[in-house]
Amino acid sequence: MSHRLLIDGRLVDGAQTLDVIDPTRATVFARSPRANATQAEQAIAAAKRALKGWAALGYEGRRPFIERMADAMAANRDRIAETLTRERGGPIADCRVEVERATAAIRHFAGQKLEDRVLRQTDQELIVEQRYPQGVVVAILPWNRPMTLLAFKFGPALITGNTLIIKPAPSTPLSTLILGELAAEIFPPGVVQTLVDANDLGPLLTSHPDVAHVSFTGSTPTGKKVLGAAAGTLKRFTLELGGNDAAIVLDDADPEWAAERIFASAMINAGQVCYAAKRVYAPRRLFDAVAGALAKHAAAAVLGDGLDPATTMGPLQNRMQYEKVLEFIASARADGGTFLTGGEPTGQGYFIRPAIVTGLPDNARLVREEQFGPVLPVQIYEDLDDAIAQANDTDYGLGGTIWTSDVRRGIAIAGRIETGTIWVNQHMSLPFDVPFGGAKQSGIGLQNGIEGLEDMTQLRVLNARLSV
């Protein structure tokens, strides 16, 4: 099936093309259109032209368009999920859930109206907080969760009256292009557009004077480039960046119970989730039981083609990430780590058997940096203060988890963790009405919740003296 870009209301070929690789087989399986700078300029100009009409529709006028988009995604769930399985890799069931979550998020945001807020109303004066659209929003996405991460930008940007240009990661463009094809039938020209690049259009999009807001999800190093590029025109921006989240097992936890949950959320999508657990801290007394149980789950993982229902874990999404994770494995071996299980490349594609690694010094690369793959270090802690200090001793601050049989104690300890989100006795819960964002170098700004909608708007304070 051939795919096209959506620019100014028309589905068009790219100026060039791009090979799309199936990570399960490490072979080219499709070709994507690739936009050049002229097409990016056309998209920005069209988005700018569309602004006035889209904003003028008001909340009630925009809502049905966004709901129709959610309907169209629901009707195309299987097609999008199968495309995701091919381009992203991973179990089809997980891809279906991703499409369903993205659809539900877009539907949720369609129902969110930002009301004016009266700050003061007396006989003398009226002071009101009002919100209006910022303008052209550019959404730049990574390859690990192309649909849900897009939905968290799509709904809030559009319902608040902005127009949107979507740029997926070059290695997972097709699911986004399908969304563009659906949007072409629904939205007025210029309101939603899709541009695929080969990692080369970012600087143009993020520095362009006609782009008002860059909503970026990706790595911290690229996020810093976005921040630099946005400075020239003082653009608004949202940066959702990397993490190195700690899972802390308290000494009162059931090790089997905790390990099962930590494994599930550390290894989902082969560890390629920004807020996955990326290092585990267990007390000495429970250490062998926790590490052993994690290794048991890792050894039981079934790697393979996501279309095979028996598969529980897919490949790394692209060659670069695969090689990066293999480097982490080599560094962990060099740092004296013991692999309880896994760590071997396997299969035709970018597969690595999930690994549980113990015995690393606290300053090992695998402990200090974001591996973004199925290789999990488990560290011993002697006292809890030390574990909390270790968890906080990082430039990242996205999320983290605490596992305990005494939830009150867990909640008290959560208050000492310096991250944007801290979960106790659960993980991966990300309700659409709850803000999500990173502390420290894990990001700036928020997505989801009312805060995520407000992030897409400009605040205007109306301040009127009522008596003359």
Strand ranges, E, within 269-384:
277-283, 338-341, 345-346, 351-352, 355-358, 375-381
Does residue 222 bind ligand NAD (CB under 6 A)?
yes
Q: How far is the CB of 362 from ligand NAD (least distance, A)?
A: 21
The tokens for 383 are 């006292």
Q: Could you give the CA distance from residue 181 to residue 220 in angstroms, rounded to a whole number?
A: 31
The tokens for 185 are 């039938």
Measured from the CB atom, is 215 or 341 closer to ligand NAD?
215
Please answer whether residues 139 and 215 qualify as being in contact, where contact means their C-beta atoms are separated by less than 8 angstroms: yes
Measured from the CB atom, is 320 or 412 closer to ligand NAD?
320
CA 149-185-218 angle, to 5 degrees, is 15
- In whole angstroms, what separates CA 62 from the centre of its chain? 25
Nearest to 190, CA basis, from 154, 165, 155? 165
Orientation of helix 77-88 relative to helix 92-110, angle to 10°: 120
Which range binds ligand NAD by CB under 6 A, 70-78, 79-87, 240-248, 307-315? 240-248
Nearest to 300, CA basis, from 255, 360, 272, 259? 259
Measured from the CB atom, is 196 or 290 closer to ligand NAD?
196
Q: What is the CA radius of gyration of the chain?
A: 23
Reduce the DSSP state of residue 255 to 3 states and report it.
helix
Please answer whether residues 359 and 338 qualify as being in contact, where contact means their C-beta atoms are separated by less than 8 angstroms: yes
Does residue 25 bind ligand NAD (CB under 6 A)?
no
Does residue 150 bind ligand NAD (CB under 6 A)?
no
Please pick, from the candidates 217, 238, 269, 448, the single residue that binds ligand NAD as defined by CB under 6 A.
217
Does residue 420 bind ligand NAD (CB under 6 A)?
no
The three state secondary structure string of 51-87 is HHHHHHCHHHHHHHHHHHHHHHHHHCHHHHHHHHHHH
Measured from the CB atom, is 328 or 372 closer to ligand NAD?
372
Does residue 70 bind ligand NAD (CB under 6 A)?
no
Residues labelled as active-site residues: 240
Please pick, from the candidates 66, 70, 81, 149, the single residue that binds ligand NAD as defined by CB under 6 A.
149
Cβ count near 123 (within 10 Å)? 7
Please answer whether residues 196 and 13 qualify as being in contact, where contact means their C-beta atoms are separated by less than 8 angstroms: no
Of residues 288 through 327, those in contact with ligand NAD by CB under 6 A are none
Measured from the CB atom, is 74 or 227 closer to ligand NAD?
227
Of residues 421 through 440, those in contact with ligand NAD by CB under 6 A are 438
Q: How far is the CB of 197 from ligand NAD (least distance, A)?
A: 6
Which range binds ligand NAD by CB under 6 A, 28-36, 135-143, 353-361, 457-465? 135-143
Q: How far is the CB of 376 from ligand NAD (least distance, A)?
A: 15
Does residue 140 bind ligand NAD (CB under 6 A)?
yes
Of residues 337 through 366, those in contact with ligand NAD by CB under 6 A are none
Which distant-in-sequence residues (6+ apart) come within 8 Å of 39 by Cβ? 5, 7, 12, 14, 15, 195
Q: How far is the CB of 18 from ligand NAD (least distance, A)?
A: 11
Of residues 184 through 213, those in contact with ligand NAD by CB under 6 A are 199, 202-203, 206
Q: Which residue lies nearest ligand NAD, judged by its C-beta?
A: 202
Q: How far is the CB of 468 from ligand NAD (least distance, A)?
A: 50
Please report how many Cα atoms fall inside a 13 Å half-sphere around the Cα of residue 252, on the Cβ side.
9
Does residue 242 bind ligand NAD (CB under 6 A)?
yes
Does residue 175 bind ligand NAD (CB under 6 A)?
no
Which chain residues interact with ligand NAD by CB under 6 A? 140-145, 149, 167, 169-170, 199, 202-203, 206, 217-219, 222, 225-226, 240-243, 274, 370, 372, 398, 438, 443
